[in-house]
Structure 1
Amino acid sequence: MKRLAISAGGAVLSVLVICLVWQGLISGFGLDPFITRGPLDVWRYLTSGDSAERHLLLDASVVTGRDAVIGMVSGTVAGLVASIVFVLYRGVEQAVMPIAMALRAVPLVAMTPLIALVFGRGLLSVTVIAGIVTFFPVLVNVVLALRAVPASSFDLMRAYGASTSATLWKVQFPSALPSLFAALRIAAPLALVGALLAEWLTTGQGLGYLMLQSVTTFELDRMWAAVTIVTVASIVLYGAISAAEQLALARYAPDRDRTL
């Protein structure tokens, strides 16, 4: 409970800092109030505005949250599987990793229309896009962590006659947990961005499309509210992953947890 409270407090503090900086920029630079909205303006819009607008934002937020979470989970699973295969079979890594890095160099905006053409304009397309931005951080970090285990640990497992799979699950994978969660902290906001991009360019649903539509129709209150929801959702995801990391390390890697 203490770990969860610390993570929740960090998330709340991050939101407060962002709101203070946001309001400070508006006041310090004298930005046009016709275009810009402050934290209090967004709060009033979300709490005392039109109920239909609130329902619209809520429905869009649920869609975007679903898209981002499904994409992040899919990308994480794919990244873990690929990491294990690369560690066990070095030849596969040497053949596939350069191709994967070359594909990652292609801007996601350029890949999105092609992905929509191949996978359709539905949830599968959004999952692929959000999964791509999650896959590569997980892959790179976990592969390096799985190989960074001290040689003495491998020697001990061999002395006990442990198989390669037993060594992987009992030694290498627990040691890689901090790197996995570090990759997820990076990937969580990126998964949201990927989901927004897919909604903007392909599905016509969720906060991504709602933000685009709001700019087109000059519904600035709705646009600022949507941006705020995305920002808060990114902080909440980051905090949830940090809390899960503390719980997982306390269970599977207590020595590593004490060094954090």
Structure 2
Amino acid sequence: MSPRATLDPVTAGGATVQLAVAADAAAQARLRAERRRALRKTVLRSLGNAGITIIVLLLLWQAVVSLTGISPYIAKGPLDVWEFLFTSPNAEANRAQLFPLVGQTLVDSSLGFVVGMIVAIVLAVAFSLSKAVEAGVMPLVLLLRTIPLVSIAPVIILMTGRGTTASVAVIGTIVVLFPALANVLFGLSRASRQSLDVVHVFGGGRLTALRKVNLPGALPSIFAAARVSVPGAVTGALLAEWLSTGAGIGGSILKFNAQAQFAQLWSSIALITLITLLLYNLVQIVENIVLTRMGMSR
């Protein structure tokens, strides 16, 4: 009998294991490469969408300024704003005037965004765990949504103090809360029934199911809520600055208009709009990266 015919079973088993390990490593390498390609594709798509949105916005802006017959003294186009901020002899002084205002508005927007998203997620989880909490709190949320914010802003400012950080946080949270809460609630309610049954079969309770199934499955809806909340947070910050603090872009727009500083007015609006679009697309890029890594992207 040849030596090959009397191959040791242990040696044969070891060779099989080595082949299986090599095949598994190759499969994992291919999987990582596919994920990297998908990630690059989604990021490039998001950047392309952002670029197209900005170009369309600039073209519409220039068309409105050029075709409506508004006086050039009042209406400023994209080229006028570019000249005011970057090419005019006073461009450095103009940037020094507007950039701190934009920075303050971004700080106020971040405050409203963070607080609003946290409150929305906490309320959505509480509503999922208890229908009694939902029945008691949801009417208050709907009430805040239906009452015009300008009409209740004096009460908010009276309670939190004029010009305080608390007033900015409360006004921003009210603007962000309802759309974010609706999106997160929708995501939590779309959990797989089979996955929930598996958790319950293995002895998991409602909190375990929420942590293992509902929250991970709701990530697309949570990111959708974040995207919707970005422009809402900026709007809330501008409103809070106008009504309460008098700082930032919201507090300066009326001053620019009253003093006929139309270049400053249009430039500040252009800057805050551009930054809002960039932040919206930044959230979308983060969403694509996270969902692609988790295998949840389309």
TM-score, with structure 1 as normaliser: 0.93
Tell me the secondary structure at the aligned position of residue 36 of structure 1.
coil
Q: Which moved more, 1:201-210 or 1:122-131?
A: 122-131
User: Out of 83, 96, 100, which is 1:44 matched to?
Assistant: 83
Distance in 2 between residues matched to 1:244 and 1:172, nearest whole Å = 20
Distance in 2 between residues matched to 1:47 and 1:163, nearest whole Å = 60
Unaligned runs of 5+ in 1: none
Task: Please name the residue that 1:33 is paired with.
Answer: 72
Letter in 2 for 1:177: L
Tell me the secondary structure at the aligned position of residue 149 of structure 1.
coil
User: Out of 22, 46, 58, which is 2:61 matched to?
Assistant: 22
Q: Give a deviation string over 1:108-133, Cα, whole Å, max 9, x none.
A: 11122221111112222111111111
Task: Please name the residue that 1:114 is paired with.
Answer: 155
Unaligned runs of 5+ in 2: 1-38
Distance in 1 between residues matched to 2:114 and 2:140, nearest whole Å = 23
Letter in 1 for 2:281: G
Task: Please name the residue that 1:87 is paired with.
Answer: 128
- Structural mapping, 1:29-178, within 5 Å: 29-49=68-88, 50=90, 51-120=92-161, 121-178=163-220
Letter in 2 for 1:116: I
Aligned length: 256
**Which aligned runs of 4 or more in structure 1 are off by greater than 6 angstroms?**
none
How far off its partner does 1:52 sit? 2.3
How far off its partner does 1:164 sit? 2.0
Distance in 2 between residues matched to 1:70 and 1:4, nearest whole Å = 27
Distance in 1 between residues matched to 2:160 and 2:249, nearest whole Å = 21
Distance in 2 between residues matched to 1:41 and 1:138, nearest whole Å = 37
Letter in 1 for 2:64: L
TM-score, with structure 2 as normaliser: 0.82
Q: Which moved more, 1:79-88 or 1:157-166?
A: 157-166
| Structure number with larger C-alpha Rg | 2
Distance in 2 between residues matched to 1:108 and 1:248, nearest whole Å = 34
